[in-house]
Structure 1
Amino acid sequence: MILRLRVSFPDRPGALGQVARVLGTLGADILQVTVLERETGRAVDDFIVSWPGGPDAATVRDRLAVVPGMRVEGVWPTRETPGAAPDYDLLRHVAADPSRAFPTLVDAVPDLVGAEWAVALASGEGGLVHRSWQAPAVLDEDGGLAGVKFGDLTPLRPAVLASGPYRLMSLPVPGAALHVVLARTEGPPFHRAEMDRANRVVEIVSIIAASA
């Protein structure tokens, strides 16, 4: 099983090594480490690990808790391939067929940030324009999901949101009267580093689409 593990720990020499040692004792093979934050004396890193028959999140938290200052913010399954460049692949497909720029974006952008699915919504009323194949079937044509109206959750600037079981990220598409909303039900809320990465890709896609 491939899992993503988000850990917050004191930003001091040797702390990352302590995390790696604890994960090793639990049988995890660390495939990739991504630095999300280094501020106010703390670090937040995402670990992609291979974990055959991996322990549950509570076990991971308990084992890491023995290290002073460690905090597990989330453990969840991921489709990510360590060492891959999904953002470059997405942009290559968009450049090859700009007429499908936004459907391609919606289908591929979840893999950039460990999201489960994405939708494109028309600005204003929030009508559904396109959805990735992973998006739940209960998503209706008005952009509603489990009592949530996405049209009410799409501000003019990128934002991280939460509603019910969903962690949401809302990204306006410049010049297209669209918003892209990404969601996941497992793991922590989207980090601002994830939001910044996805937003840069959305901006580049909008430039390619406008120039076609």
Structure 2
Amino acid sequence: MLLRLRISLPDRPGALGQVTRALGTIGADIHQVTVLGREGGRAVDDFTVAWPVSADGPEAERNEPVCAHVRDRLSGLPGVSVEGVWITRAVPGAAPGYDLLRYVVAEPVRAYATLVDALPDLVGADWAVTVATGPGGRPARWSRLVHRSVRAPAEFSPAGEVPPRAVVSSDGDVRLLCVPVQDAGLCLVVGRRQGAEFHPAELDCVMRLVEVVAMLAPAGEATTVG
């Protein structure tokens, strides 16, 4: 089982080493470390680790005791703050962003459907959808689901208006990342039920991918998928 850990730690020599030693002590095998940002003398890193538990399917995704155990063991380290621990399907060392763009180039008529299918694994989320934002006029209103990933909710109708720009927010205990695609009359929404809030680096990554996909998608593609 793969876990993703988001950890804030002092940006100084030795701080990363104490985290990796602690992970080794509890039996986690580190597969990848990604630096999300540095600011104010602290760094925020994402660790992808293999946890020695055989678990598949929905029950594994709700395996809160495992995540809580890892969080508790790391939270006692001096200066270390655990922002989130959650199960991930992202494959360390893979390049899903490049794969996504390759598929979009090969079949641009399915550009947004391909984007929605790929994004959950790309940013360690649970699901993604695009929602039609209704005809013309501002502020835009949420309308109907147009595309949805395999594990996305059958309905998604949050309160309020479609955000005019890319934002991270929450709906109850679900973390959300929203990117309007105004030319297509859509808003992309990515949801994460466990773990940390979406980081600005993740928002920036998704915004850049959406920009490229929107350039490749033919006019009217958003209305061709129900």
Same fold (TM over 0.5): yes
Q: Show the counterpart of 1:133.
A: 150
1:174: Cα distance to partner? 4.8
Larger displacement relative to structure 2 (176-185 or 125-134): 125-134
1:161: Cα distance to partner? 0.5
Structure 2 matches for 1:30-109, cutoff 5 A?
30-53=30-53, 56-109=66-119
The code of the aligned residue for 1:128 comes to L
Aligned-partner Cα distance in 2 for 1:57–1:130: 31
Q: Does 1:209 align with 2:226?
A: no
The code of the aligned residue for 1:82 comes to P
Q: Deviations over 1:24-62 (max 9, x none)?
A: 001000000111111000011000000113973333233
Larger displacement relative to structure 2 (59-68 or 11-20): 59-68
1:210: Cα distance to partner? 4.4
TM superposition score normalised by structure 1: 0.90
The code of the aligned residue for 1:52 comes to P
RMSD of Structure 2 on Structure 1 (CA)? 1.8
Q: Deviations over 1:132-164 (max 9, x none)?
A: 111123x1xxx32xxx34xx3531211000111
TM superposition score normalised by structure 2: 0.85
Name the SS of the counterpart of 1:172 in structure 2: strand
Aligned-partner Cα distance in 2 for 1:8–1:26: 19
Aligned-partner Cα distance in 1 for 2:165–2:45: 25
Q: Show the counterpart of 2:136.
A: none
Q: Show the counterpart of 1:171.
A: 179
Aligned-partner Cα distance in 1 for 2:82–2:179: 27
Pair 89,153 (structure 1): closer, same or farther in 2 beyond 3 Å: farther
Structure 1 unaligned segments of length 5 or more: list them.
Answer: none
The code of the aligned residue for 1:121 comes to V
Q: State whether residues 153 and 170 of structure 1, in contact with CA within 8 Å, keep that contact through their aligned partners in structure 2.
A: no
Structure 2 matches for 1:144-159, cutoff 5 A?
144=157, 148-149=158-159, 152=160, 154-159=162-167
Aligned-partner Cα distance in 2 for 1:105–1:32: 24
1:121: Cα distance to partner? 0.9
Query: For this pair of structures, how many residues does the alignment match?
Result: 203
Q: State whether residues 112 and 198 of structure 1, in contact with CA within 8 Å, keep that contact through their aligned partners in structure 2.
A: no
